[in-house]
Amino acid sequence: MSLEEKRDIDRITPVPSSASSTKPQTATYNSNNSLSGLDNLQVLPKILQEGVIFVACGPAVLLQAAHPGLNTASSASSNLTDDLTSYLHAALSYIACLVLGSKDEKQALLARLGLGQPPLQSSLKVTSPTSQLWLVATIYATAADFYQRIYGAFDYRTAEAAYDEFALVLRYLSPTVLPSASAGDQSLSQVSWPSTRAEFWKYWDAELSKLVVSAAAHDVASELQKRDLPRGVGLTKPVLRAITIEMLPEHIRDGYGAKSTFMTRQLYATAIGLLRPVYPCLPKGWRSGPASYYLEEVRKEIK
């Protein structure tokens, strides 16, 4: 099932675009950077500690590259692949810090961001709030989607809580990661983070229809395929590629020339079939390795 197929309202990703929300978003944010809201996260830490969700980074980058406001964002002296991956690296590191870090680490990060001195530099220069919002949306959608492919669908309340907690974290990271309306720009009111999960998927469906796989986006896909992966992860490249193909909406993967074939479907089915029973049984320290890596990236810069 690809990211455009949303059939069950009790899941994070597969929620019908026409569904109405029965619960308003309850997340609150203190402009003085009080950490009280972050002390009560219940669902997001459990999701983020499962390193398997980072398999979704591939689909996320390709969805980002196909956005009209992003596939022309790089200057002649930069590279879109590097720009998007550096942004993703920084965003995931900040999210990991606010969700899994200590109180002192969270305060140190927010202090740096408040001074306009982000500890991790992203080469991506996005001036459009619409494009910036899409960057964040792909992180939520792909991670939520892949988590459920392994662990099964959340019940309705858990799904709502996960969305609200993610929205709260994003508000702490505004405007570094999420567009901020604090500057009084009326146009930003049209691109703020959707207040409910149902509204998010309406937004998602609308944005999917606007994506265009340009020559620059094709270059991103080609460069990602050629890049070396750490240690033994490189051996799983064919499987990761199959998972990416099967996760992408059909018109997007067709645009990339990445057809869903018998082989990709078999690789995907085999990988998911093995991960579902085996992955949850692995030691917690091993499963949380990727999240720990992103958290450590921030720690090194805020000492």
pLDDT, the chain, mean: 84
Q: Considering the chain, what percentage of its residues have pLDDT values greater than 70?
A: 80
Band of pLDDT at residue 126, cut at 50, 70 and 90: confident
Could you count the other beta carbons within 10 Å of the beta carbon of residue 203? 17
Helices (H), the chain: 44-48, 57-65, 80-100, 103-114, 129-151, 156-172, 197-208, 215-226, 237-247, 250-255, 262-278, 284-287, 289-302
Cα atoms found within 13 Å of the Cα of residue 173, Cβ hemisphere only: 26
Distance CA 298, CA 104 (A): 12
Band (190; pLDDT cuts 50, 70, 90): low
- pLDDT for 14 equals 34
Q: Which band of pLDDT confidence, cut at 50, 70 and 90, is reported for residue 6?
A: very low
> In the predicted model, is pLDDT for residue 27 greater than 50?
no
- Judged against a pLDDT cut of 60, whether residue 162 lies above it is answered with yes
Integer CA distances (angstroms), 213 to 51, 80, 87, 106, in order = 29, 13, 20, 37
* Residue 193 per-residue DSSP state: P
How high is the pLDDT of residue 72?
A: 67
DSSP state letters, 126-172: ---HHHHHHHHHHHHHHHHHHHHHHH-PPPHHHHHHHHHHHHHHHHH
* Contacts of range 204-207, beta carbons closer than 8 Å, 24 or more positions apart: 204/17, 204/137, 204/141, 205/4, 205/17, 207/67, 207/134, 207/137
Report the pLDDT value the prediction gives residue 237, as an integer from 0 to 100.
Answer: 86
Q: What is the arithmetic mean of pLDDT over 258-276?
A: 96
**Residue 17 confidence (pLDDT):** 37
- pLDDT interval class at 63 (50, 70, 90): very high
Q: Which range has the worst mean pLDDT, 140-144, 171-175, 256-260, 265-269?
A: 171-175
Which of these, 224, 233, 240, lies nearest to 290 by C-alpha position? 233
pLDDT of residue 5: 47
Task: Check residue 128 and give its pLDDT.
Answer: 83
**DSSP string of 96-113, one letter each residue:** HHHHHS-HHHHHHHHHHH
Prediction pTM value:
0.86
Q: Domain map of the chain by residue range? A: 41-178+193-223+283-302
User: 234 pLDDT band (50/70/90 cuts)?
Assistant: low
Going from the C-alpha of 178 to that of each of 62, 91, 139, 223, the distances in angstroms are 19, 10, 12, 27
The least confident of 19-33, 38-52, 165-179, 212-226 is 19-33
φ and ψ at residue 97, rounded to 5 degrees: -65, -45
Angle, CA of 36, 37 and 40, to the nearest 5°: 95
Q: What is the mean pLDDT of residues 22-32?
A: 41
130-158 pLDDT tens trace? 999 999 999 999 999 999 999 999 889 99
Mean pLDDT of 197-208: 95
Q: How far apart are CA 79 and CA 61, in angstroms?
A: 13
